[in-house]
Amino acid sequence: METLNIAILGCGTVGGGVARIITDINNDLALRAKKKINIKKIVELDPQNAAERFGLPLDLFCGKSKKLTPAEAQKYIREIISSEEIDLVVETIGGKSDFAYNTCLEVLNSGKHLVTANKALLAERGNAIFEAAGTRNLKIGFEAAVCGAIPIIKTINESFTGDKILSISGILNGTSNYIMTQMQSKRLGFVEALKLAQEQGYAEADPSLDINGGDAGHKLILLVKLAFGMNITMEELSITGIENITMEDIDFANEIDARIKLICYTKKINGEIFATVKPMLVKNSNFLAKVDDATNAVRVNNKYSGVHFLVGKGAGSSETAMSIVSDIVFIARYGEKIACAPVVTEKNLADVRRFVFPYLITFNTGNIPGTTGFITTAIGKQDINIETVSHNRYSGEKAMFSLATMPCTLEQIEKAIDEIRKEKPGMLLSEPKILPILY
């Protein structure tokens, strides 16, 4: 039986999980891959600790029991890249640094396949990496970069090649979903829910990328590239996180039979591609509203086959590692038959302000008679139909209420708000909060 020799760069949570799976079920993987998958080298700064943590032989590690300095680790990585014995490199270093970027390029330029879970690197600096793979007819496996154990990349790349994707919406960040679940089911404030997520291991000490939408944005960029053949930068993508979601927002959502989720959304309409990451009020009739805790879910709407849901764990050592191992097996078995990289053909990213959605608009105003009527009239003047208006919530001289619109654009809503400010300068006490409603 032929052998596929691999090297693993980084043996932390994910890299160690990869090594453990390959060691544990090596014979099964060989039958599936039609090749024996052999771990030739592992580069890790603390080999002894990694070997004990994942039950791996020390002989697999460069330097064996000796702790490596960064310079020594880089020397071993260069040796791996130049080695003719290594067929495929697994990159689990992480991050979008020049070192990670150059390492991936050097792996491909040396004639080796690459498998990675590095969504930030591929989303923000991946064009040259995909181009290098395509030029040399090498393969990049990146299933683990989006939604961990959920096979969304292979589903789009293979299962839906006979169809046309119309839209994708989903919960692609488990941390934010866990936080929103705790806020809505246990009535916890945002800070309290975040602290619980950190205690449970769902959020890092610095949770910024999870709660500000950045992590979900990286994943959406990759899905847009695959589904619609378009490159989007983080600067071009409209992203809003969950940091400013309040109990009042949750109460207003309950009034219209919805739950708040951080949603990744992309849709192609008349040649234009819309893409955004935002908290949305997901109607309870939509399956995504029922996806709680740290679970991820993706809803794909196709022209011919209709709606599909993929649900599962989006993070974790075993879950992410399993996706990496699946890519290794796939490359080992099918090699040159695999499409090299996403084909980029589209360039028309639409202005998010022209998104047509129903919206929930929340107003903070003075407690003055006639305010609600004036605001609803101003909204109507912009040809926006109103579906429902909530009860006012009073606090001394202040009032708060929300209204749900029928489908319209943000441009229309912004014009209405501008007119309200122009005609009644002191009426709005703060910037109205505008959240899309997803049916």
Q: Structural domain boundaries of the chain?
A: 3-148+318-337, 152-314, 356-438
At 413, which helix (H) or strand (E)?
Answer: helix 410-423
Q: Indicate the CATH number for domain 152-314.
A: 3.30.360.10
pLDDT of residue 338: 75
Residue by residue, DSSP assigns 313-381 as: E--SHHHHHHHHHHHHHHHHHHGGGS--S----B--BPPGGG--B-EEEEEEEES-TTHHHHHHHHHHH
pLDDT tier for residue 336 given thresholds of 50, 70 and 90 = confident
Architecture label for domain 356-438: 2-Layer Sandwich (3.30)
DSSP 3-state of 37: strand
**pLDDT at residue 439 tops 80:** yes
Tens digits of residue pLDDT in 219-273: 999 999 999 999 999 999 999 999 999 999 999 999 999 999 999 999 999 889 9
- Residue 398: beta bridge partners? 366, 395
**pLDDT at residue 340 tops 70:** no
Q: Indicate the CATH number for domain 3-148+318-337.
A: 3.40.50.720
Question: Which residue of the set 41, 219, 225, 278 is catalytic?
Answer: 219
pLDDT of residue 95: 92
DSSP 3-state of 158: helix
What distances in angstroms separate CA 377 from CA 358, 373, 374, 389, 416, one per listed residue?
Answer: 17, 6, 5, 12, 9
387-409 as b/e: b if 16+ CB within 10 A: eebbeeeeeeeebbbbbbbeebb
pLDDT of residue 394: 86
Alpha helix stretches (DSSP H) within 2-151 = 13-24, 26-33, 47-54, 70-82, 98-109, 119-135
Cα(3)–Cα(332) distance, rounded to whole angstroms?
9
Say what the pTM is. 0.94
Give catalytic status of residue 219 as yes or no. Answer: yes
